[in-house]
Structure 1
Amino acid sequence: MLHPDNSALLFIDVQGKLAQQMPQAEQLFHRLEQLLRGALTLGLPIIWMEQNPEGLGGTLPRFVGLLEGRSPLVKQSFSGWAEPGIRAAIVASGAQQLLLCGIEAHVCVYQSASDLLAAGYEVQVVADAVASRDPNNRQLALDRLVGDGAQLTSVEMALFELLGGADNPAFPALLSVIKQRADD
């Protein structure tokens, strides 16, 4: 079970034209927005990564607005854990349970998750908030990660798990985030 005092969200490389090439991009973006809003509501540390922004472009503006007051951590390695600044941010968060979302599932999400598992973290990949240009690559990444010890979750499952119960003061705000439709 996820616990809000021991969890962090890793928001991985939702950038430029590459993000627009994901299958069902608008549905993916909606789920990413829900996840970010939920993490913010619950006060989770958010570690925001960008892969080579000079080459790929920056994070899509719709997410930059949600992440106001934060700065992306730039990486050249596909694995966030391989970058000293990102590694330091993860360690500084104090979290042992890491939720991963973003793109591409079979490259940066997969390599980050694999390295985090090897480092002893509990990794949960938010399956409905990760994508690859080729859905077969996404599925292969999810299958391999489960085989390596990662757990799969969904946006709603993770947020309700972190919430814990309807008596949590954040329940009304989180319920509003979860009920928000993609066309709102």
Structure 2
Amino acid sequence: MLSAAETVLVIVDVQGKLARLMDGSEALHQQLVSLISGARLFDLPIVWLEQLPQKLGATSEELQAVLEGHQPIAKEHFSAWPCDAFRAALKHTERKQVLLCGIETHICVYQTCRDLLDNGFDVHLVADAMGSRTAANKALGLQMMLQAGAKLTNVESLLFELQHHAVGDNFKALLKLIK
């Protein structure tokens, strides 16, 4: 089970024109906004990545709005793992459960997932908060990560898993968030 005290959210490369080319881009962005808002509700650390932002552009505006107070980490490799700043940010959280989301599922998310798994992290794939240009590539990317040992979840399931208890102010805020 996910624990808010042990979990970090990693957002991979939802940037520029490429983000708008994802299959189901509008729904993907809505789920990412809900996920990030939920992560903030549970005070999860957020590690936000951008692939070559000087070439691919900045993170989508609607995501930047809910990521206020956080700064993106620029990377050059498809996987985030070779990036010293990423590894340092992850280490700083002192957490081993990773909620992984972003684009493209079969490339940057996949390679980051494999490196996280190879380095002892418990990776949870937020399937409805990741995308590829085609549904087939997304499905294949998810399958490859599951075969490597990652776990599958979705935004609503993981937020209720973090909540655990159906009472209180956080629960009320969570209900408003998912409606």
* TM-score, length of structure 1 as denominator length: 0.95
Hey, what's the Cα distance between the residues in 2 that align with 1:71 and 1:133? 26
Hey, what's the Cα distance between the residues in 2 that align with 1:140 and 1:152? 13
Give the corresponding residue for 1:80. 80
Shift of 1:37: 0.4
Give the corresponding residue for 1:128. 128
RMSD: 0.8
Hey, what's the Cα distance between the residues in 2 that align with 1:40 and 1:72? 16
Give matches, 1:138-177, under 5 Å: 138-177=138-177
1:91 equivalent to 2:94? Answer no
Give the corresponding residue for 1:182. none
Tell me the percent identity.
Answer: 45
**Residues 154-175 of structure 1: per-residue CA shift (max 9 Å, x gap):** 0001100011111353111111
Matched residue of 2:2: which SS? coil
**Structure 1 segments (4+ residues) deviating >3 Å:** none
Aligned AA (1:126): V
1:38 equivalent to 2:38? Answer yes
Hey, what's the Cα distance between the residues in 2 that align with 1:124 and 1:29? 19
Which consecutive unaligned segments of at least 5 residues does structure 2 have?
none
* TM-score, length of structure 2 as denominator length: 0.98
Matched residue of 1:80: which SS? coil
Aligned AA (1:98): V
The count of aligned residue pairs is 179
